[in-house]
Amino acid sequence: MIPEVAQKYADADAVDLSAVERAQAESDRTTTTRTIRKPHAVTVISLILRPILMIAAGTIGDILVEPETTASKVLSFIGAPTFALLVATILAMYLLGIRHGWGKHDLSDLMDAALAPAAIVVFVTGAGGVFARVLTESGIGDAVSGLLTNAGVPIVILAFLIALSHINDSGFWIATKFLGLSVGGGRKTWTVMCTVAGFLGMALITIAWFVNAAVS
C-alpha cells in the first residue's frame, strides 16, 4: 500500500489494510501450497457401489418383506434412488474432497463443472421419457406397432432398430461427455462400436431364433 494512504487510514483509526493484505496473501500461500492426496481405489469403488447396493436392498425388500410393515418402509426409504445418490454424493464430498485437502471453493468449482456434462444427459433422458409417455397416452405406439407387425417385420429386427444407440440416446451423450469426446468423435467411436456390437448380437439372436423355430 502507498505510505501516504496508509498514514491517512491510521490517522482516521480505520482498518489496517496492510494487515488485511498480509492475511490475504498468507491465506493464498496456504491454499496454493496445501497437499491434495489421492484417495485409495477401495474408497472410490465403495462409493460407486454404495448407491447400487442401497437401491438393490430396496428392490429386494419389496419382494421379500411384507408390504406396509416397518421393515418394508425403511428398506423402501433406503432404496429410493434419490436418497441413495444423495448419500453417495455427500460421502464423496467428504471422503474424496475434504479429507484429501479440498476446500469449500474447490468443491464448489468441481460441482459446478460437473453439471455441464451431466445436464445434457439429464435433458436427453427426460425428453426421451416424455416422448415415450406421449406415444403411450396418444396411442401412436400401438398404431406403429400394429403397422410394423402387419408389414411382417420380424420382432428381432424391430428390436434391433429401436435399440441402436445414436445422438438421440442418453448412452451416447454419457459416453461422449464423460470421455471428453466431441459429437463427431462420439459418432466415429461410440456409434460405430454400438453398431458393430448390435449387428453381431442381432446375427447371433437371429440364428438362435431360427434354430429354435426349426427344433420346435
Question: In whole angstroms, what is the distance from residue 75 CA to residue 72 CA?
Answer: 5
State pTM to two decimals: 0.48
pLDDT at 36: 62
Question: In whole angstroms, what is the distance from residue 144 CA to residue 163 CA?
Answer: 16
Domain parsing of the chain, residue ranges: 3-33, 114-216
Q: Which three cell numbers stand for residue 165?
A: 444407440
pLDDT by position in tens, the chain (length 216):
445 544 544 554 444 545 545 655 555 444 445 566 677 888 889 989 999 999 998 888 888 888 888 888 888 898 888 899 899 989 988 888 887 777 778 778 877 777 777 777 777 777 777 877 887 788 777 787 777 777 777 777 777 776 676 666 777 877 787 787 888 888 888 888 888 888 888 888 888 888 888 887
pLDDT at 175: 79
Question: In whole angstroms, what is the distance from residue 183 CA to residue 186 CA?
Answer: 5
pLDDT at 22: 60
**What are the helix (H) ranges across 40-181?**
41-64, 70-78, 81-92, 104-138, 140-150, 155-163, 170-178
pLDDT at 167: 65
pLDDT at 49: 92
pLDDT at 24: 55
Question: CB–CB of 93/83 below 8 Å?
Answer: no
- Beta-carbon contacts of 93 under 8 Å, excluding residues fewer than 6 positions away, are 107
